[in-house]
């Protein structure tokens, strides 16, 4: 079933029930809409787009932070048969320009936060962008744009009902959306997803986590990303309520869980760490919140340190835990998942997801036995159609229906898949392959370390050596000597050769921005840090 049809069904069955809630603690704002209002708002916007000339196959850019309007606008775009093009709200002007030009977008929807970033590129984009729609406060709307509500009222008028979508035939195999990769390994690529891809995400997520109509999903990660939205789709398919939380302070997350009676919460690793640190430092007391109904802690988007889950279980012993693995090219998470019944395998990314196949292969595409590391490849209904306008990259990534993920993994004797590292992040030191994630997980067990990233930096004799960018927990002092001593628990070739105390940059989905770290610290062999080991 096309997801716009699922929205229509939810409106029929749960018309007056709450669908979405927006919480903005910093502004003390709480808003909500019903399934009927969600559907009507999407249809009104779809009719407006259609009346303004948007047709099936056109592209519409959506550059917005999370809000109550985000999903209705997204569904409105899909309802016209056009392709939704959600952009990363952290993109600077150059990447916004690159992505919008590649999409040849006809309509550009944006919020107040992006006005300054559009100044230098707007005139360039006017060769394709016909209308700029502003979702912020009308009095802050720049002169070249039209406020969202004015746009809807002016073009659609009174002839269009929110109960009736435009007359467009959409097939399950039609193109639906362009999602840009996060760019953590270079220039973002445009991933073309179909309506079947989006439909499959609903079934995968619901199969993995068994969402019921009365479950309440707390959504914190950015909606432009496939991860947050596809996890929400497990609740969406059963008409479950979702809470969109704007802000990641531990007390805000716990307040939202408590006051909205959330049962499922998807966190990124840094946010889970922050909650634990706040509890340890007595900045929050879990006894102050109603948390008994919270049944599932769900962490994804990056490797999860086993030490984190062990500590989490000390405070929340009744929580079910799961992690999902995926990538934009697989329509987000779910091609591999641990499963709530497999908490004894914390550290593994799990087993092939619902309706997915997985293999670990060598450089020639041959299957590897358990224990040997190779590239993880996956096949299933969630595999993207292609990299948009990039047949060369597509042919290197999709081979005989298998999606080559670029991640190094291995099977254990029980058939569980363990993520070793990104193929591009492997450090080759004196001929030895070193996987940074293994070192990062080891050091995350140190009681004073809040975050760590490990990269390779050039070395004349060994080719590359390991460097650790380390951030200590707030209020704690951490020395290089302490780290060196702790590192003796690793094999000698895996120990950190350089230590740098600095913040670890992460993108909006929690992934470490290693290209940025390499630009800062690995350009050459003249780092302004001390070499610890010979």
Count Cβ atoms below 10 Å from residue 281 Cβ, excluding itself: 11
Question: For residue 385, is it within any domain?
Answer: no
Residue 103's closest CA among 85, 77, 125? 85
pLDDT at 331: 94
Q: With contact defined as beta carbons under 8 Å apart, do 92 and 119 qualify?
A: no
Question: For residue 371, is it within any domain?
Answer: no
In angstroms, rounded to a whole number, what is the distance separating the alpha carbons of residues 490 and 465?
15
Q: Domain range spanning residue 431? A: 425-521
Domain end: 196, 220, 250, which one? 196
How many domains would you assign to the chain? 2
pLDDT at 448: 92
Please provide the distance, in angstroms rounded to a whole number, between the alpha carbons at the two ends of the chain. 61
Domain end: 168, 196, 224, which one? 196
CATH assignment of the domain containing 483: 3.30.300.30
Question: For residue 250, is it within any domain?
Answer: no
pLDDT at 487: 92
Beta bridge partners of 32: 21
Count Cβ atoms below 10 Å from residue 169 Cβ, excluding itself: 7
Question: For residue 501, is it within any domain?
Answer: yes
Residue 58's closest CA among 77, 78, 22, 83? 83
Q: What phi and psi values does residue 328 have, to the nearest 5 degrees?
A: -55, -40
Question: For residue 61, is it within any domain?
Answer: yes
Question: For residue 281, is it within any domain?
Answer: no
Q: What phi and psi values does residue 315 have, to the nearest 5 degrees?
A: -95, -30
Domain end: 196, 217, 252, which one? 196
Question: For residue 302, is it within any domain?
Answer: no
Element of type H or E holding 322: strand 320-327
Query: In this structure, is the dihedral angle defined by the CA atoms of residues 499, 504, 505 and 506, taken in order, positive or negative?
Result: positive
Within 8 A by CB and 6+ apart from 467, the residues are 454, 455, 456, 457, 496, 497, 498, 499, 500, 521, 522, 527, 529
Strands (E), 160-231: 175-180, 190-194, 216-219
Question: For residue 87, is it within any domain?
Answer: yes
pLDDT in tens, the chain (534 residues): 999 999 999 999 999 999 999 999 999 999 999 999 999 999 999 999 999 999 999 999 999 999 999 999 999 999 999 999 999 888 889 899 999 999 999 999 999 999 999 999 999 999 999 999 999 999 999 999 999 999 987 665 554 556 789 999 999 999 999 999 865 445 789 999 999 999 999 999 999 999 999 999 999 988 998 888 889 999 999 999 999 999 999 999 999 999 999 999 998 887 888 899 899 989 999 999 999 999 999 887 666 778 888 899 999 999 999 988 898 999 988 999 999 899 888 888 999 999 999 999 998 999 999 999 899 999 999 999 999 999 999 999 999 999 999 888 999 999 999 987 676 777 877 666 787 888 888 998 899 999 999 988 887 666 678 999 999 998 899 999 999 999 998 888 789 999 999 999 887 667 788 878 888 887 543 333 333 222
Give the per-residue SS3 of 222-284: CCCCHHHHHHHHHHHCCCCEEEEECCCCHHHHHHHHHHHCCCEEEECHHHHHHHHHHHHCCCC
301: left (phi over 0), alpha (psi -120 to 50) or beta: left
pLDDT at 346: 85
CATH assignment of the domain containing 162: 3.40.50.12780
């Amino acid at each position: 079933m096309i997801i716009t049809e699922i929205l229509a069904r939810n409106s029929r069955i749960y018309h007056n029930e709450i669908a979405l809630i927006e919480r903005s603690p910093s502004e003390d704002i709480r808003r909500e809409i019903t399934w009927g209002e969600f559907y009507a708002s999407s249809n009104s916007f779809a009719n407006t787009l259609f009346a303004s000339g948007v047709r099936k196959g056109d592209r519409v850019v959506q550059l917005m932070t999370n809000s109550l309007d985000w999903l209705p606008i997204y569904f409105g775009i899909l309802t016209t048969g056009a392709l939704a093009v959600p952009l990363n709200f952290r993109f600077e002007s150059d990447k916004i320009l690159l992505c919008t030009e590649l999409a040849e977008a006809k309509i550009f929807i944006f919020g107040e936060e992006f006005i300054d970033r559009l100044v230098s590129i707007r005139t360039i984009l006017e060769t394709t962008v016909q209308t700029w729609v502003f979702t912020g406060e009308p009095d802050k709307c720049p002169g070249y744009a039209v406020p969202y509500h004015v746009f809807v009222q002016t073009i659609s008028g009174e002839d269009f009902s929110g109960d009736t979508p435009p007359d467009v035939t959409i097939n399950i195999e039609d193109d639906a959306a362009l999602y840009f990769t996060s760019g953590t390994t270079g220039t973002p690529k445009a991933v073309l997803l179909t309506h079947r891809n989006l439909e499959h995400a609903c079934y995968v997520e619901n199969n993995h986590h068994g969402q019921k109509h009365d479950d309440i999903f707390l959504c914190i990660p950015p909606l432009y990303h496939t991860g947050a939205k596809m996890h929400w789709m497990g609740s969406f398919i059963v008409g479950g309520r979702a809470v969109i939380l704007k802000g990641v302070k531990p007390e805000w997350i716990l307040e939202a869980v408590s006051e909205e009676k959330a049962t499922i919460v998807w966190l990124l690793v840094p946010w889970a760490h922050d909650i634990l640190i706040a509890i340890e430092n007595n900045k929050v007391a879990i006894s102050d919140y109603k948390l008994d109904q919270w049944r599932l802690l769900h962490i994804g988007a990056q490797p999860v340190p086993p030490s984190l889950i062990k500590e989490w279980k000390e405070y929340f012993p009744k929580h079910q835990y799961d992690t999902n693995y995926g990538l934009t090219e697989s329509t987000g998470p779910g091609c591999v998942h641990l499963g709530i019944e497999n908490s004894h395998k914390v550290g593994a990314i799990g087993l092939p997801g619902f309706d997915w196949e997985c293999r670990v292969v060598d450089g020639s595409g041959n299957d590897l036995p358990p224990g040997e590391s190779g590239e993880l490849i996956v096949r299933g209904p969630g595999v993207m159609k292609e990299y948009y306008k990039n047949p060369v990259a597509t042919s290197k990534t999709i081979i005989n229906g298998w999606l080559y993920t670029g991640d190094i993994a291995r099977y254990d004797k029980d058939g569980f898949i363990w993520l070793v590292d990104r193929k591009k992040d492997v450090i080759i030191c004196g001929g030895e392959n070193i996987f940074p994630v293994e070192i990062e997980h080891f050091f995350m067990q140190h009681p004073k370390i809040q975050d760590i990233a490990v990269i390779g930096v050039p070395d004349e004799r060994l080719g590359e050596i390991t460097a650790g960018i380390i951030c200590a927990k707030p209020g704690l002092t951490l020395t290089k000597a302490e780290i060196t001593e702790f590192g003796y628990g690793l094999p000698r070739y895996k120990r950190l050769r350089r230590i740098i105390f600095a913040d670890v940059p992460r993108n909006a989905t929690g992934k470490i921005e290693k290209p940025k770290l390499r630009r800062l610290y690995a350009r050459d062999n003249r780092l302004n840090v001390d070499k610890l080991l010979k």
